[in-house]
Amino acid sequence: MTQPLFTLDAILAATGGKASDVSAKAIDSISIDSRDLGPDALFVAIKGDRFDGHDFVDTALANGAAAALVSRGEGQNRIMVPDALGGLVDLAKAARARSRALIVGVTGSVGKTTTKEALRTVFEAAGQTHASIKSFNNHWGVPLMLARMRETAQFGVFEMGMNAPDEIRPLSKLVRPHIAVITTIAPAHLEKLGSLEAIARAKAEIFEGLEPGGIAVINADHPQIDLLLEAAKAAGVGQVVTFGFSRGVDWQILEAETAGDRSFATIVNGNERYALAIGVAGRHMLSNATAALAVATLAGVDPAVALKALAGFGPQPGRGQRIALGPSEKPLLLIDESYNANTASMSAALEVFGSVSAPSGKKMVILGDMLELGEAAPSHHAGLADAVRDSRADAAYLVGPNMARLGEALGDGAFSRHFTTVDEAMPEVLATLAYGDAVMVKGSNGVGLSKLVTAIKDKFQQR
């Protein structure tokens, strides 16, 4: 019989909760969404910005939840705690305390989710692995992911994000990673942080949760590397490992090239040389994969196993996924980068798109606002003009108030069109696209370009 995620007694011991007519003796999954429940689920009624989970407890139980963790309300199959989110954190602490897994924490301005997924791919080739899903990397996502980790896991990978200072520190202290990865530092969340140095200091909070003797793995390809190295030293990090294209790093990327939707490089670590190949285009993707190779090796995974796993690693939905729609002889090539964007990821995506050829038609980019850049937003958007030109796009459709600045920088003419919202842009974009074209969609998630991606798929996918 498979060991459950938590017994009821373990839940009560971890949370100090009181059970009210709970019939289940164990739970095997945890959810905060009444519509998405795993087997023998515990529904945790956390209060979010838009919804209060307590309003959906009855729905969750009706949908098959074994019990609900609540801080108010009466009824059967409820476990009462002072605060539901606090109870979830308690379960996360309990899951971490019993775990013998090698734990990795990942943060950074760009590439967190891709690096986390690359690590998941590598570790799954070596043993039982638990990893964060999607981008569940905030004050509720991290404890939810940690609480879901089974006692039998051999590896755990957790993504940690932030919008302001003092947000990663408590997450890292909860996860207590053995290895902490910082993918890079780039202009993101400038609205609340104000400078790249402040962003670096906020990301460096991950070092404060490292287990004694833990390892920091840091991308060196940015001006804030010295700040991160000093922060690691101040936090008492036992070992610091660097990676990137820069000279003198511990894991150096050489001979990088992209061919179609694959990328290749030689990775040098001391006297060892590794041939790295991945199923996704871009120098930035090679950097993420190199981080995964370095971490896996530090974790004791055979490099040959890691390299074989990475060879099958491909782009994630909304993060460079290439989709051929329609007839094979003349498809519409859709590159979906709609999940998120800042200046670094936008420039990288445009660079990759520059190497893409349309199957038989024109090339188009659809770019949405990069959010949370504060007062610097206009200049950062305007500063993308050269990257757009270098992408060899035949047309640029720009969505969002700040993208108007990019339109101005590109100059007058028929090359670019600006729209305030996705809904405003959608009719013209769909009417302009045709089979044989190549189109890249890139913007911050809050702009809603995923709606446009869905509409393109619906129109051009042959059924």
Contact indicator for 182, 222 with CB cutoff of 8 Å: no
d(CA 314, CA 317): 10
CA 413 – CA 358 distance, rounded (Å): 22
Of 153, 138, 189, 111, residue with least CA distance to 348? 111
47: DSSP letter: B
Whether 420 has a binding-site annotation, put simply, is no
Structure tokens at 50: 């838009």
Backbone φ, ψ for residue 321 (5° rounding): -65, 130
Whether 81 has a binding-site annotation, put simply, is no
- Annotate 310-327 with DSSP letters as a single string: HHT--PBTTBBEEEEES-
The phi and psi torsions of 158 (rounded to 5 degrees) equal -130, 130
Residue 82 class from Cβ within 10 Å (0-12 exposed, 13-18 middle, 19+ buried)? exposed
Distance CA 147, CA 221 (A): 34
Place of tokens 């994969």: 289
* Residues contacting 306, CB < 8 A, separation 6+: 122, 125, 126, 292, 293, 296, 297
184 annotated to a ligand binding site: no
Distances (CA, A) of 107 to 116, 173, 197, 200, 372: 9, 14, 15, 11, 17
Q: How far apart are CA 257 and CA 234, in angstroms?
A: 37
CA distance 411 to 9: 67
Three-point CA angle 399, 400, 401, nearest 5°: 140
Alpha helices by DSSP H, listed for 72-221, are 84-98, 112-124, 141-147, 168-175, 190-193, 196-203
Which are the contacts of 183, defined by CB distance < 8 A and separation ≥ 6?
A: 106, 107, 108, 109, 110, 111, 112, 115, 219, 287, 288, 291
Q: Which residue has the tokens 């990257």?
A: 387
* Residue 347 marked ligand-binding: no
Distance CA 132, CA 356 (A): 31
Does 108 count as an annotated binding residue? yes
Task: Mark the binding-site residues for ATP, compressed into ranges.
Answer: 108-114
Task: Mark the binding-site residues, compressed into ranges.
Answer: 108-114
